[in-house]
Structure 1
Amino acid sequence: MSLNRLEGRKLLGGITTSCCLGFMLFGYDQGVFGGLLANPSFQEQFNHPSTTIESQIVSTYTLGCIAGSVVAIFTGNPLGRRNSILLGCAFLTVGGILQATSYSLAHMIVGRVVSGIGIGFNTTTIPMWQSETCKASLRGKLVALQLACLVFGFVLTNWMNFGFTYIPNNPVSWRFPLGFQALLALGTACLVPFLVESPRWLCLKDRHAEAKQNIARLFAKEIDDWEVQETLDIMIETIASERAEGEVGWREVFHNGKQQTFRRICLGAGANIFQQLGGVNVVAYYLPVVLERSFGFTPRMSLILSACDSMQWMFWGTMMIFVIERFGRKKLMLFGASGCSLCFAVSAIGLGIGTQASNGVAVAFIFLFYFFFGMSFMGIGFLYPSEINGNRSRSLGAAIAMVTNWVGVYIVVSITPVGIQNIGWRFYIIFAVLNAAWLPFIWFFYVETAGLSLDEIDRVFVIKHAPNSGLTYPQAIQQAKAEMEGERLNLRNTTGRDEGKETVEHVENTV
């Protein structure tokens, strides 16, 4: 079977592979620069930059990510999911080439910004595309798999940087790792044209015939099959009911309507605040620097420990695939915030005491951080905005969440070297306090979405916030499921379909 005629599980596998490659590139970019800052050839090429300049070289990439996410707010719906990813890959290819060939700080910074724009597009769009082309029961698992691939990219760059320490004075030791990202971007881009566009996006554009064809391919069914038609009918009906309220404008972004747009955008963005201001990039971007400057390890040993730590991060990220649907998003976020707070608190205490034994405990808890983060915020930060936002505001809400994400990254990567240099172990107390502060917000405001279709999530907010409702979210969830099942049965009755058929888990929708 040719690539452009894949269907069913093979088609979903192709989409997932493409999404995983895109996120592997994201993880690779996250880690590649932290291991190059101590490279002798790199230092010589750029005249031994100060700590402040190092921070700005790293963080300009994040500014590009912010810019890409902002642009995606306005281009996401007009371009569609596939074209947005292809555009992101084009920026990443050009950015990788610019960085690998740079001979001045200005040249390097331009390359970092261009690559960042590409990552901004891809991190906004990829989870959405995956969610809109898979069943509700697979949505969390597949997005968690993408995040495991993100960490694999991070592992790859850690070991690559370590390997090149054996030729430290050769420019290849830093030019090749920076150029390699262009190859990963091309690999992602080569797959996307052979895969299907999101049926839900096609319905938003009133391209119902194409949407029906894509649903049939995703289900591996004939185009006139009753399941295909039923799924299309539900999508069209849900989108039509939302359109009755008009287009989502900036005024509605900051006000709640029947669909609770503002509330839902805030929940998606909040998950990314928890993810980034919880301190993951103190570890992800700068672990070699942290181990060298805070704990006193040699540069090579710092790289070895960083690479080993990233491997156990990948393991815990992979384990999340098996728990995200079983325990749900809310419980895992509570678990993650509690554990991450504990890890930073113990690390700060250990470094503050300053003995060899206490420093060993501090290192152990820095390593333990990835267990709690990998099993919680790593995946949920990207998944939650793609499912909590409604059909009309999904692209907008996902883009705002990613802007929030990258602003958080920029803040943390900008202050970490300076913070470690000026206040030492006290810097880690900030993140212990922040993670503890997330707990009441998660407990009181977050809604469980595990096991719900995207249409059911929409219905939950309508029911919960209807005038004089008085229902709790769990009660609204049960009512939404009952109403959606009744509507499916009515559709079958009115079109003469067999009522005895099992209810189909229809194609889902993301950012």
Structure 2
Amino acid sequence: MSQQGAVQRLLSDQVELSESIQEPQTVYNRSRFEGLVLQDVIPQHKRVWYEYPHLVRLNFFLCSAILTNITAGFDGSLLNGLQSLPAWNQYFSYPEGGRLGTLSNAIIFGELISIPLVPYICEKYGRRKPIVWGCMIVVVGALFQGLALNYFMFALARFILGFGLAMSGAATPLFVVECAYPTQRGQMTSLILPAWNVGSFFAAIITYSTFHLSNTNLSWRIPSILQGFFPILQSIVMMYAPESPRWLVSQNRHDEAFSFLVNFHSDGDQDSELVNFELAEITAAIEMEKVAKQSRWGVFFETQGMQHRLLIIVFLGILVQFSGNSMLSYYLPIVLTNMGIADAGKQLLINLGSTVLCITTGMTSGLQIERIGRRSGFLVALFMMTVMYCILTWLSASNEQVDVRDVGLAYVTVGVVYIFQIFYHLMAPFAVTYMVEIVPFSMRSKATTLNHMLQHLTLLFDNFINPLALNAWRWKFYLFYCFVLAGETLVIYNFFPETGGKGLEEIAVIFDDVMSTIPLQHEQYPEILGDINDFPTISVSRQENPRNSSSV
């Protein structure tokens, strides 16, 4: 049988997609919306979103999912804060060098073990359940960490934390992007990265609050156990959250997907054009992926455009963690001590101020990405980060020459670190957005997996090398990152085109000189795709009260 005949038979076999139809029915066909785009069918709301109950419910669940990154940020700042606590250092025999690097890397080892499994779990069980399961694992890790009896138990706890965080962390952006209301999708996804800094802020506050218990082990056990607070809260809420409508469609559970869209995107209106359009478009996109079979890893090497994308994906995975930021974030106490600020209380306050600055910058830059521009944002941020690192190197050398007696010079150095973090957090949200935008839909999940894996491998390298090099070479090690940042700026300038102001289909022209819309692909490859009007008709059950089935 020819390829076209096989495709036609596949489509004709799927005309009826609902197993049990209750009267009355609503029938959707993709051709009904021919020539329309999503913007054409979105209703014009006259009030702010929080005056619409269905959007309040939806965003409540989305924000609950984003708690995953708050937990991750809590951990990122927790170890930083614990290093400033005398009781923690004394209990674990003042870990430094490789021992300190092992504690930082234990969570990464757990994530690296979990990451290869997560895509299969999300495909089989959906987006909601992996979030719940990951949160439960994190709770176990937090208890182990807070009750640790020795160095090995503390490191094991961090491994467990990493395994759970990777599972819930991989499912969270999928859940948010696939469930968010169309006009709020960009805003909600922009909250994911700054949420990390919110968690870091809470950890900094808690470790500073327990500082007065510095002579007891409660000063570090309390923050460690409290790391399980947000996962407990999140798992309870997510048990009652709906499932992604796109995943439901991929499992041929169209009635449940229709119920989600009615309940959360149209406030119970089963005749909403938005709901009809979304369900038809989601189904068409998923069927197209099944027919085209263009989700192989080898696709990255087949064309010059995909090779260009692969270069950017790999580069961004390294850039996010290998720009000098990890050294200043995870080893800030060591850096401050080298600068002459050895007082634990002052170090915690500086850590807290740095976190507030990161939250403000991250949220602002994420929400203003369209005004700033991707390429220009990268270039400005990396250039200024290079300048700040050069200044930091000079200040560190000057401070060492006066044998760290000039405390004023040390505080100037802290100011330079703050400015560096402003520009880093200006750039960081762009890295996620840019990477997702440039990759075709069928390869987006693989690109995200590859990017995520490279970030953790780079951070693993950082956590082992940075403490050793910093202890051995002190300020001279900063010179290395000056050259790294300058090189990264040149890569952005030469290989990163501007994608702002363009739709996802238009971005494909930049890399492939072709559009990626289904209608145009059909015109180019009719022998493969057949007649676009032959895509299946979707039959779904009409519920008397769809609100009653909002929880999946």
How far apart in 2 are the matches of 1:97 and 1:170? 18
Partner of 1:370: 421
| 1:205 Cα deviation from its structure 2 partner | 3.0
With structure 2 as the length reference, what TM-score do the two structures score? 0.77
The letter for the 2-side match of 1:408 is: T
How far apart in 1 are the matches of 2:126 and 2:310? 20
The letter for the 2-side match of 1:157 is: A
In structure 1, the residue corresponding to 2:373 is in which secondary structure?
Answer: helix
In 2 relative to 1, CA 160–248 (structure 1 residues): closer, same or farther, beyond 3 Å? same
Given candidates 368, 391, 401, the residue that maps to 1:323 is 368
Aligned-pair identity in percent equals 20
Partner of 1:231: 278
| 1:262 Cα deviation from its structure 2 partner | 5.9
How far apart in 2 are the matches of 1:230 and 1:411? 47
In 2 relative to 1, CA 336–72 (structure 1 residues): closer, same or farther, beyond 3 Å? farther
In 2 relative to 1, CA 118–230 (structure 1 residues): closer, same or farther, beyond 3 Å? same
Aligned counterparts, 1:34-49, within 5 A: 34-49=80-95
Given candidates 241, 260, 275, the residue that maps to 2:320 is 275
| 1:63 Cα deviation from its structure 2 partner | 1.5
- Mapped pair 1:212 → 2:258: yes
Structure 1 spans left out of the alignment, 5+ residues: 1-5, 485-489, 496-511
In structure 2, the residue corresponding to 1:206 is in which secondary structure?
Answer: coil
How far apart in 1 are the matches of 2:257 and 2:500? 25
Given candidates 281, 288, 301, the residue that maps to 1:255 is 301
Deviations 1:312-364 (A, max 9, x none): 12221222243123223333222221222221111011112335465444322
Deviations 1:488-510 (A, max 9, x none): xx99xxx9xxxxxxxxxxxxxxx
Does structure 2 conserve the Cα–Cα contact (< 8 Å) formed by 1:20 and 1:149? yes
In 2 relative to 1, CA 360–172 (structure 1 residues): closer, same or farther, beyond 3 Å? closer
Partner of 2:217: 171
Partner of 2:478: 428
Greater Cα offset, 98-107 or 13-22? 13-22
With structure 1 as the length reference, what TM-score do the two structures score? 0.83
How far apart in 2 are the matches of 1:245 and 1:136? 26
Partner of 1:406: 456
| 1:387 Cα deviation from its structure 2 partner | 4.4
How far apart in 2 are the matches of 1:192 and 1:432? 44
Partner of 2:40: none
Aligned counterparts, 1:55-74, within 5 A: 55-74=101-120
How far apart in 2 are the matches of 1:368 and 1:407? 27
In 2 relative to 1, CA 150–197 (structure 1 residues): closer, same or farther, beyond 3 Å? same
In 2 relative to 1, CA 123–382 (structure 1 residues): closer, same or farther, beyond 3 Å? farther
Given candidates 354, 366, 390, the residue that maps to 1:345 is 390
State the superposition RMSD in angstroms: 3.1
| 1:257 Cα deviation from its structure 2 partner | 6.1
Deviations 1:234-256 (A, max 9, x none): 2222233333332633434x423
How far apart in 1 are the matches of 2:196 and 2:232? 17
- Mapped pair 1:149 → 2:149: no
How far apart in 2 are the matches of 1:262 and 1:205? 32
In 2 relative to 1, CA 358–12 (structure 1 residues): closer, same or farther, beyond 3 Å? same
In structure 1, the residue corresponding to 2:227 is in which secondary structure?
Answer: helix
Does structure 1 conserve the Cα–Cα contact (< 8 Å) formed by 2:126 and 2:247? yes
Does structure 2 conserve the Cα–Cα contact (< 8 Å) formed by 1:347 and 1:361? no
- Mapped pair 1:298 → 2:348: no
Greater Cα offset, 40-49 or 60-69? 40-49
| 1:68 Cα deviation from its structure 2 partner | 2.3
How far apart in 2 are the matches of 1:297 and 1:399? 40
- Mapped pair 1:313 → 2:372: no
| 1:481 Cα deviation from its structure 2 partner | 12
Partner of 1:335: 380
Deviations 1:40-83 (A, max 9, x none): 32233323334321221121112212222232243332232112
Counting matched residue pairs gives: 468
Does structure 2 conserve the Cα–Cα contact (< 8 Å) formed by 1:144 and 1:321? yes
